[in-house]
Amino acid sequence: GPLHVGHGRWAALGDALCNLLEAVGYDVDREFYLNDYGTQMEVFAASVEARYLELAGREVEFPAEGYHGSYVRDIARVLMEEDGGKLVDAPPEERRSELGERAYRLMLERIRESLDNFGVRFDNWFSERELHASGAVLEEIRKLREEGLAYEKDGAVWMATSRFGDDKDRVLLRSNGAPTYFAADIAYHLNKLSRGYQHLINIWGADHHGYVRRMQAALEAKGHAGVLEVILGQLVNLKRGGEPVRMSKRTGEMVTFDELVEEVGRDVARYLFLTRSQDTALDFDIQLAVQESMENPVYYVQYAHARICSILRYGLGRGVELSEEVPDLQTLRRLGEEEEMGLALKIFEFEELIRDAALDRAPHRLTRYLEELAAAFHLFYNRHRVISDDAELTAARLFLVRCTLQVLRNGLAVLGVTAPESM
């Protein structure tokens, strides 16, 4: 289905974490794992087929566990417009198979577009069904049995994960011969390791917390202890003026990620998603998000950047030399006011903060830091003129604000947020 608002928060988190890790020297690849295999895909295909037949005027029984979202009707409508209903009278198995495949491609394209509009791009898109089609899942089950890490019981094949810290053993192959999601996940993680990755960071919804230890136990059994790190992302509580927002006015269903980004903008959504630690639920107030005021933290930080750009434009207009060089010590000693020292000290914190935020997987610390830096700049700006008739003092203060500008720009870039030159 379409991405929900929680997915958006986790996308912002993952992208910012990649940027942080790259900033401190790691080589990072971004990979999206497509859960495109199994019962959920069969139910999706059956749901689209039912809506497709309804559009053709046929009476059909909707699948008991089918997907009722308006997006299913929308996809069926697109498919009907594409083929003119040519599959209505096709053999049922052929019809469902073709509609399911086309619906899957369309849904995947929409997910890619949603993430692209949000500024999140992946190096790899890895398909679960291609993993199964390659034979890798069944081959890994065979290897686990051969290595004495799996055994047969009650007609099923189990992995002895309890020997490696899990609370019980887990089924790999059901008694009907179908591999479990767990078996596929083991094969997928081993595939990543076979591609040369030394450390794996997964971002999962908090509802998967019970799955973490078994996955780590499986990799430990295969000789990869400590290689898998799982970050559990909490959900987003949408509010408008402090009141909960549950339904979209347009669809009457849950507000989607796309709708939120369209209303508040990419920069605001990305920044606000990162203002709290990922292990706590996030209250996202749409009314505050769209305000262009100092109450809005995104506006507050971006405005500091734009204000400095305005100062530099003013200086150029007055013929002030905007040198890239660091002023000499005598010039820098002119910076002695409390607000100047406060701003300079805040700038010095940036390098250590980036390192710690990367190692602790804590991009929310960067949003807090940028707000503190913006506050230090606004305080300085409101009490002191940067450009004056005192050339030496002007040079010193221009250097200070240019350093502030660079740190604001670098910090916002890590968060995936733009740094506007005017507002």
Has residue 100 been placed in a domain?
Answer: yes
- Kindly state whether residue 322 falls inside one of the protein's structural domains: yes
Local structure of 282: helix, strand or coil: strand
End of a domain among 84, 118, 152?
A: 118
Q: Residue 352: which domain range?
A: 297-415
Mean pLDDT, range 274-281, rounded to an integer: 96
Residue 291 included in any domain: no
Collapsing DSSP to helix, strand or coil, 114 comes out as helix
Question: Where does the pLDDT of residue 1 fall: very low under 50, low under 70, confident under 90, or very high at 90 and above?
Answer: confident
Torsional sign, CA 326, 328, 331, 335 = positive
User: In angstroms, rounded to a whole number, what is the distance separating the alpha carbons of residues 140 and 194?
Assistant: 13
Domain assignment present for residue 377? The answer is yes
**pLDDT tens across 301-327, in order?**
999 999 999 999 999 898 888 878 888
Q: Is 353 among the domain residues?
A: yes
Among candidate residues 118, 138, 153, the one where a domain is terminated: 118
Mean pLDDT of 66-84: 95
Task: Please calculate the CA angle 13-15-17 and round it to the nearest 5 degrees.
Answer: 65
Q: Which residues contact 318 (CB under 8 A, 6 or more apart)?
A: 387
List, in sequence order, the alpha helices (H) in 277-349.
286-289, 297-317, 329-332, 338-348
Average pLDDT, the chain: 95
CA distances from 156 to 171, 173, 199, 299 (A): 7, 6, 32, 57
Which one has a higher pLDDT value, 1 or 359? Answer: 359
Contact between residue 382 and residue 304 where contact means Cβ atoms under 8 Å apart = no
> Where does a domain end: 97, 118, 139?
118
Question: What CATH number should be reported for the domain holding residue 374?
Answer: 1.10.730.10
What distance in Å separates the CA atoms of residue 81 and residue 83, rounded to the nearest whole number?
6
Structure tokens at 354: 């980036």
Q: Is the pLDDT of residue 252 over 80?
A: no
pLDDT of res. 323: 79
- The residue-averaged pLDDT of 231-260 equals 84
C-alpha span between 267 and 411 (Å, rounded): 13
Mean pLDDT of 382-399: 95
Does a structural domain hold residue 74?
Answer: yes
Instruction: Say whether pLDDT at 86 is over 70.
Output: yes
Is there a domain that residue 169 lies in?
no
pLDDT in the model for residue 18: 98
The DSSP secondary-structure symbol of 361 reads T
Q: State the total domains in the chain.
A: 2
- Asked if residue 40 has pLDDT above 80, the reply is yes
Looking at the domain assignment, is residue 272 inside a domain? Answer: no
